[in-house]
Amino acid sequence: MAFWLARDPRGQTTDFIQRFDPRFWTVNFPRPMMASVVTTGPDALRVDCEFHHEGELAGLIWESEDTLDHPLLAYVTDKDYSRTVLRFDWQSSGLVPLDQPNGPTLTIEGRDETGASRSWYVRLWNYAVGSPVSATVTLPFSELQSGYTLPGEAVVPSSIDRMFISLAPPGYEAGGTDRLPARTDASVTLSNIVCEGDRPMLSIGDVMLPPHGEQIATAYDDALNQTPQRLLRIIRALGYRGSVLHYVGMSHFYRLAPDYQGKLLAAIDGTLCTPAISWHAAFFAECKTLGFEAIASLSYELFAADCHHSWQQLAFDGEQARTGWVPPSALLTPARTQVNDWLQAVAKNFVNLMKASDLPVRFQIGEPWWWVTPNTCKPCIYDYFVKQLAGGSVPLITDIRGPKTSEEQDYLDFAGSVLADSTLALADVVRAEGGPDTEVLLLAFTPTVLDPAVPELRRANLPEAWAYPAFDRLQLEDYDWLTAGADALRRTAYETVDARLGYPLDKQDYLSGFVLKESDADEYWLRIDAGLDEAASRGITRRFVWALPQISRDGYTRLAASQEDQVQAFDDVLYPLALGRDAGVSPEFSTSVVVTASGHERRNSLWSDARLRFDVGPGIRSQDELGTLISFFRARRGAARGFRLADPFDFSSNGMTGSPTMLDQQIGIGDGLRASYALVKHYGEDAGTEPQIRPITRARIETVAISVDGVANTDWMLDSGGLVTFSNAPAEGAIIRAGFLFDVPVRFAEDRIDITGAAFTAGEAPSIPLVEIREAV
Q: Which tens digits make up the pLDDT trace of 520-550? A: 999 999 999 999 999 999 999 999 999 999 9
Give me the pLDDT at residue 564, please. Answer: 53
User: Given this model, what pLDDT does residue 612 score?
Assistant: 93
Share of the chain above pLDDT 90, in %: 87
pLDDT of residue 504: 98
| 687, pLDDT greater than 90 | no
Q: How confident is the model at residue 618 (pLDDT cuts 50, 70, 90)?
A: confident
Contact 769, 611 (CB under 8 A): no
Q: What is the pLDDT of residues 336-352, one digit of tens each?
A: 999 999 999 999 999 99
Q: How far apart are CA 401 and CA 532, in angstroms?
A: 32
Of 87, 57, 35, give the one whose Cα is nearest residue 227: 35
Residue 617: the pLDDT is: 87
Q: What is the pLDDT of residue 119?
A: 97
Backbone angles phi, psi at 465, to 5 degrees: -65, -15
Residues of the chain with CATH 3.20.20.80: 215-559
Task: At 12, give phi and psi (nearest 5°).
Answer: -70, 170
Query: Where residue 296 falls among pLDDT bands split at 50, 70, 90?
Result: very high
User: SS3 for 289?
Assistant: helix
Mapping DSSP onto H, E and C, the string for 598-633 reads: CCCEEEEECCCCCEEEEECHHHCCCHHHHHHHHHHH
**pLDDT score, position 600:** 86
CATH number of 215-559: 3.20.20.80
Count of CB atoms situated within 10 Å of the CB of 43: 17
**pLDDT (tens digit per residue) in 385-418:** 999 999 989 999 999 999 999 999 999 999 999 9
Structure confidence by residue, pLDDT tens digits, 720-767: 899 999 999 999 999 999 999 999 999 999 999 887 765 566 556 688
Q: How confident is the model at residue 93, as a pLDDT?
A: 98
Q: Does residue 544 have a cis peptide bond before it, meaning omega lies within 30 degrees of 0?
A: no
* Euclidean distance between CA atoms 720 and 616, whole angstroms: 26
Cis peptide before 327 (omega within 30 of 0): yes
Give dist(CA 50, CA 361) in Å, integer: 28
Residue among 202, 196, 77 nearest 141 (CA): 196
- pLDDT at res. 759: 55
- Dihedral over Cα of 462, 465, 471, 473: its sign: positive
Residue type, 115: G
pTM, entire model: 0.89
> Average pLDDT, stretch 197-203?
97
On the question of pLDDT at 686 being above 80, the answer is: no
Give the CATH number of domain 3-205. Answer: 2.60.120
**Average pLDDT, stretch 555-574?**
80
Spell out the residues 6+ positions from residue 373 whose beta carbon is closer than 8 angstroms to its own.
315, 319, 321, 322, 380
Q: List where CATH 2.60.120 sits in the chain.
A: 3-205
Give 517: exposed, middle or buried? Use CB within 10 Å, 0-12, 13-18, 19+: exposed
